Amino acid sequence: MTKFLGLLLSLIAIIHIIQAQGQQGFTSLDCGLPANETSPYEESYTKLMFTSDETFIRSGRNGRIRENPEGFAKPYETLRYFPDGIRNCYGLKVEKGRTHMIVARFVYGNYDGFDVKPKFDLYLGPNLWATIDFQRLGTNSTNEEILHMPTSDSLQICLVKTGETTPFISALEIRALGNDSYITKSGSLMRLSRSYFSKSGSNIRYMKDIYDREWVAHNGASFQKEWTQISTALDVNNSNKYVPPKDVLIHAATPTDANAPLTIELPSGGSGEEYYFYAHFAEIQDLQAKDTREFNISLNGEVLSDPIIPKKLDITTVSSVGTCQGMECILQLTRTNRSTLSPLINALEIFTVIRFPQSETDENDVAAIKNIEAKYGLSRIAWQGDPCVPRQFLWGGLNCSNTDMSISPRITSLNLSSSGLTGNIAAAVQNLPQLEKLDLSNNNLTGGVPEFLGNMKSLMFINLSRNNLNGSIPQALQKQGLELLVDGNPMLCLSNACRKRPKKKVLVPIVASIASAAVVIAVLVIFLVWRKKKATAVGGTSMVNDTFANKKSRRFTYSEVVKMTNNFQRVIGKGGSGMVYQGTVNGSEVAIKLLSQTSTQGYEQFKAEVDLLLRVHHTNLVSLVGYCYEGDHLALIYEFLPNGDLKQHLSGKGGRSIINWSVRLRTALETALGLEYLHVGCTPPMVHRDVKTANILLDENFKAKLADFGISRSFGGRESQEFTEVAGTHGYIDPEYYRTNRLAEKSDVYSYGVVLLEMITNKPVISEEYHVAEWVGTKLNQCDITEIMDPKLCGDYDSNSAWRALELAVSCTDTSSSKRPIMSQVINELKECIACENSRISNNGGLLESQEINISLDSTVVPRAR
């Protein structure tokens, strides 16, 4: 009995193997099927072998439909849904350069018990494929089919959350089609219909169709009126590159009126859409010697091909391309003058072209970054799909070159700082030839510094600080132009001298010292990583999700943005991430910053700014009226500040007035108040990271408001420091932050000090000869304030006030952050500066030339004599 059972199981296995071989080039995924259930299994109707999807995706949860009134087959009873993350992707192997039929199937079946119809986007690689909208469809199920030729041997199919509902998928079916079939000039083909002409036929799939295309009987009202069905019991040859099923070709429709054309109304793909037609013909009637069947095929009156004469019991496939300019789209088969018989048609496939303009990331770069991911066991939910595009889904820690959508992006920056990496430096790094910046700092990497890093021609910055690397620095890394940071690696030799073996008597103390240092550094690193993760959990992705999911009252559509700007009529500025336009919302003037789709950093900054400004409110921070997040259209809508930015008023450009010393002091104080709120009043505290005169805006009363929070970051508090990639504007960046990657509130204090020096001197921050702080340092030795103050002030200021402000600016720009004041100290000092200036104004009879200063100060603040 046992032997018989074993033999039976062996036979079943052999049958499954034979069937699987017949399905070569097929991938059939039962999404959400637990791996511990029977997998693979044979689906009863099609006899296709379905397998669990668990090895093809790293995220999502398993679900099962609760309602099945339509009697869905087993592959569609389970599903995978994605409550976590914005983009979740399947990774599948395909044959590059061969057309594949890709079918995604969705059966809601009230699996979650909420009976809320979901809406989400479906992406093919970096491009939008379709929007799945059960609310609009009003059905319980839908599917999307596309014929697509992959440009690499891997395929990414992604589900993207676009609102409050959760994306899900029931099944993924991929079929490699015949060579050279369904070829387009450009783009892929989205199926509108695939039908055969039979009054009473059922749907036809595998095994009758070797490619598992689904054929639906075209048995509508036309058969009752204008058409007559003809059929044959004979075998019809179907051997061509399309191979439609023989069961499709044994039926055909012909006009009941022999003199009338055969008219087919096409499903609309939209006016102006490009259609691809694949019409299959076979003569299945016995013709008399004198009979001829010849006809033309036309779309809305435009002939698409040469006259067609179907071959006896043999297939003829005509493929054509056409465009319907109106909403009505009519395909007609019309007999020619020499034809004695009416036209016929056996089967018809209709597609519209869908173009995918965004090129995928270079496949070699993708392979390299995935090898790095596997090497270090990085399990990041956001690291799915294409690493570089679209920009809103750029993998965290990467930057890419992708200014031209037609060119494959390349990875140019990799930041895995504080990522818990162990082992040696991954060899796959050298397979990123366009890499310019590599940051592996603050990890637990061991082994030597590899020489290949010095052979990477594009690599100009390497940060290996605070690891456990050993050995010596390769000679190849000591080349000109390469910035290499290796501090915090106690076992790493920085010169030839350290390669010499120390005397035996000092070996133990040195090793002991190094071991102690390593322990201290390890503890410090663990603490910093823990704190950074904690800060990220508070101020990172969860807040961004909350921003876009729960702030609908402040969210505008792109059409509303077009309307409020009067079709982007008035440009009022241009930044690194896009143009700024003036507009109106509910009668109030606003400024709208429209994110450029070619911006390299814009999307992450857009998320950060929306997140911050929707939860912080201060009179000296620019107010966010709302935002637009609709597909590729991203916009920030701010209150409009008519007096522009401080930089314009210092330079006098754009017809701006040169503000006097009183207003400069007030602007300095109000900016300091805004920064203090970010550093102390926010939870968690924030560092602006881009404090500069161009980001200080002035309203109609010259009240200052700090703007542009796209690169702001949360941090742990007053005494904390966070490891992060350096960002900001050259000249304003804290040199200590630049050198160590350690971000703290004192980084903003330095930038603020540079702003204060600009306000005092009206000198450029950076020139060919000096930085403004260096220039002031040389002038201070002369102890003459008039040599330092902006000559455009014409000496109209209190010298005590000027000296105090100058000393404050110098202390803020100290190269050591520990010697800089905090913002509350800056505010107190500025109040004293203002008190000095107010005293001068009062002594002059309260007269000012053009502007007034109206800040009320504590009566306890007394000007200090110099």
E-assigned strands of 569-668? 571-575, 578-585, 588-595, 624-630, 633-639
Which helix (H) or strand (E) covers residue 772, if one does? helix 772-780
Q: What share of the chain is helix, strand, coil (3-state, %, to 5)?
A: 30, 25, 45
CA-wise closest residue to 80 among 32, 112, 18, 128:
32
Instruction: Given the residues 212, 439, 690, 748, select the one marked as catalytic.
Output: 690
What one-letter code names the amino acid at 463? N
Tokens, residue 839: 């005293």
Smallest Cα–Cα separation from 671: which of 622, 616, 604?
A: 622
3-state secondary structure of 404: coil
H or E stretch covering 613:
helix 602-613
- Find, among 720, 749, 722, 757, the residue nearest to 733 by Cα: 749
Exposure letters 229-238 (e unless 16+ CB within 10 A, then b): eeebeeebeb
Nearest to 99 by CA among 201, 261, 211: 211
Check if the beta carbon of residue 685 is closer than 8 Å to that of residue 745: yes
What does the alpha-carbon distance between residue 502 and residue 483 come to, in Å, rounded to a whole number? 30
| Cα 334 to Cα 263: distance, rounded to the nearest angstrom | 9
Q: Where are the beta strands (DSSP E) in 239-354?
A: 251-255, 262-265, 274-281, 295-299, 302-303, 316-323, 330-335, 347-354
Q: Any known ligand binding at 607?
A: no
Q: Which two tokens stand for residue 558?
A: 């792109």
For 659, the token pair is 């503000």
Is 690 part of the annotated catalytic residue set?
yes
The verdict on whether omega for the bond into residue 83 sits within 30 degrees of 0, i.e. cis, is no
Q: How many residues does the chain have?
A: 866
Q: Under DSSP, is residue 569 helix (H, G, I), strand (E, B) or coil?
A: coil
- For residue 107, list its beta bridge partners: 141
Q: Which class for 309: exposed (0-12), middle (13-18), buried (19 or more C-beta within 10 A)?
A: middle
**Residue 489 token pair:** 């690696």
Q: Torsions phi, psi of 15, nearest 5?
A: -60, -45
Whole-Å CA distances, 76 to 29, 79, 168: 10, 7, 12
Question: Among all chains, which residue has been given the structure tokens 């966010």?
Answer: 624
* Residue numbers belonging to the annotated binding site: 593
Q: Which residues are catalytic?
A: 690
Annotated binding site for ATP: 593
